[in-house]
Amino acid sequence: MQAGTRRGKTRTGMVRQILPISALLLGSALLLFAGGMNALILPIRGTQEGFGASALGLLGSGWAVGYVLGCVWMARLVGKVGHIRAFSVTAAFAAVAVLLSLIFLTPWAWIPLRAISGFCFAGAAMIVESWLSERADPASRGKIFGIYTMVNLTASTAGQMVLTLGDTRGFLFFVLPAIFYCLALVPTAMSSTITPRPLASAKLDLRVLWRNSPVAVFAVFCVGISNGAFGTLSAVYADRVGLVLTSVALFASLPVLAGALAQVPIGILSDRVDRRLVLVAVAVLGLATDLAFILLRPEDRAINLSLAALFGAMIYSMYPIIIAHANDHAPEGTFIQVSGGLLMVFGLGSIIGPVVAGFGMSALSEAGLFLTSAGAHGLIVLFTLLRIRKRAPLTEEEKTSFVATPTGRAATPETAVLAVGEDEAARG
């Protein structure tokens, strides 16, 4: 009886925590749903229109440029016009960008339009996360961050899978994302929440970051190359090896889901042993998966999806390990600055990765995608092993706690604020 009462109180408490932020979670879900469709329809439709892999790779680089600029400049825009107006502007321009992509079916129009989408996506995510951070009390912050992450993951995956329900050669999957981008601004526009504090801004100081942790800087750059390339061109690879549309969507979405699930056991392990050893092990497994794709060149659906899930479990677990390792060595109260700076380094890698992989796929067939990530993972292993010989590991007591984090392409400076708490941000 008492156990049932406790469970009832727990459920009631959870509902009380979620209800005040339900409008923000809904706005974020609509945004990610539209973003999932938008991100997948472009490489699929581009392939159908005869765009080369190098041009499609530039779409990912354009998005990364816009995303980095959004993380840097959005705080200033919000400071001038306010959260609600800034969010409305980003949602409107994201809708316009995807509709213009339908009108101008050429990569040279899509690349700058994708940069606009990246800027808008980063800005909108930062604003929502700022609101959530304001509404979350310290006791419930971890639960709210977890709910927010799962809502976004589910919405993004659902957006990608929707493409399997219709004809990708028509206008439907350009119009639908535009509709949902517009709908995303409704919950925040009608929210009665007081205006949140100013947004956190991302600043890049390579010298400070390098002194703090050379492994973190080098590895997060390489992870940006690998993840940026795969996130942009995975659908192109799946199409080239002959997978049908449903399998293409799964090939793009399963790795992200696997990466989210793998963060829990990998995070627990990294809290108990040297995080650099965990990073090396994960990178080695990622490299082994790269080589499996390169050498086996599988055409079977089950093998491709299984390898993609394993690949995602590895590549999307590296970013939070790196962030945790960097913060183990960071001075107290600098979590936000370190995370923001590493996000910028990740963004630089994400600009380069799709370009290199795109040209590699044009010159060396579809294997060019995994040759790019294999090079990045191999460099992570070699550099990290070198640094392990030069710097002693921290004890378990000296470490900060591992925090499961969205993939770099889905993280913003505000993600770090929401994850660690308002009091930590204030000290930073």
**Mean pLDDT estimate for the chain:** 85
Residue 335 CA to residue 202 CA, distance in Å, equals: 12
Q: Which residues contact 80 (CB under 8 A, 6 or more apart)?
A: none
Q: Please state the pTM of the whole predicted model.
A: 0.88
Residue 26 CA to residue 38 CA, distance in Å, equals: 18
SS3 track for the chain: CHHHHHHHHHHHHHHHHHHHHHHHHHHHHHHHHHHHHHHHHHHHHHHHCCCCHHHHHHHHHHHHHHHHHHHHHHHHHHHHHCHHHHHHHHHHHHHHHHHHHHHCCCHHHHHHHHHHHHHHHHHHHHHHHHHHHHHCCCCCHHHHHHHHHHHHHHHHHHHHHHHHHCCCCCCHHHHHHHHHHHHHHHHHHCCCCCCCCCCCCCCCCHHHHHHHCHHHHHHHHHHHHHHHHHHHHHHHHHHHCCCCHHHHHHHHHHHHHHHHHHHHHHHHHHHHCCHHHHHHHHHHHHHHHHHHHHHHCCCCHHHHHHHHHHHHHHHHHHHHHHHHHHHHHCCCCCHHHHHHHHHHHHHHHHHHHHHHHHHHHHHHCCHHHHHHHHHHHHHHHHHHHHHHHHCCCCCHHHCCCCCCCCCHHHCCHHHHHHHHCHHHHHHC
Task: Tell me if 378 sits within 8 A of 124, measured CB to CB.
Answer: no
Q: What is the pLDDT of residue 58?
A: 95
**Phi first, then psi: what are they for 51, rounded to 5°?**
-70, 140
- CA triple 334-335-337, angle to 5 deg: 65
Same fold, 19-199 and 203-411: yes
Kindly state the tokens that stand for 353: 């990765």
Residue 346 CA to residue 340 CA, distance in Å, equals: 10
Q: CATH homologous superfamily of domain 19-199?
A: MFS general substrate transporter like domains (1.20.1250.20)
Residue 53 CA to residue 75 CA, distance in Å, equals: 34
Sketch the domain layout of the chain as residue ranges: 19-199, 203-411
Q: Name the CATH architecture for the domain at 203-411.
A: Up-down Bundle (1.20)
Q: Which residues contact 295 (CB under 8 A, 6 or more apart)?
A: none
Burial of residue 222 (CB within 10 Å: 0-12, 13-18, 19+) is buried
Residue 185 CA to residue 163 CA, distance in Å, equals: 23
Q: What is the pLDDT of residue 280?
A: 96
R_g over Cα of the chain? 21
pLDDT digits (tens, 9 = 90+) for 108-153: 999 999 999 999 988 888 888 887 777 766 666 667 777 888 888 8
pLDDT digits (tens, 9 = 90+) for 198-250: 776 667 778 888 988 899 999 999 999 999 999 999 999 999 999 999 999 99
Q: Look-up: residue for tokens 């703090």? A: 212
- Tens of pLDDT along the chain (428 residues) come to 444 555 554 455 555 566 667 777 888 899 999 999 999 999 999 999 999 999 999 999 999 999 999 888 888 888 888 888 888 899 999 999 999 999 999 999 999 999 999 999 888 888 888 877 777 666 666 677 778 888 888 899 999 999 999 899 999 999 999 999 999 888 877 766 666 667 766 677 788 889 888 999 999 999 999 999 999 999 999 999 999 999 999 999 999 999 888 988 998 888 888 899 999 999 999 999 999 999 999 989 999 999 999 999 999 999 989 988 888 887 776 677 788 888 899 999 999 999 999 999 999 889 999 999 999 999 999 999 999 988 777 766 666 777 777 776 677 777 777 776 544 444 44
Task: Tell me if 314 sits within 8 A of 263, measured CB to CB.
Answer: no
Q: What is the pLDDT of residue 427?
A: 42
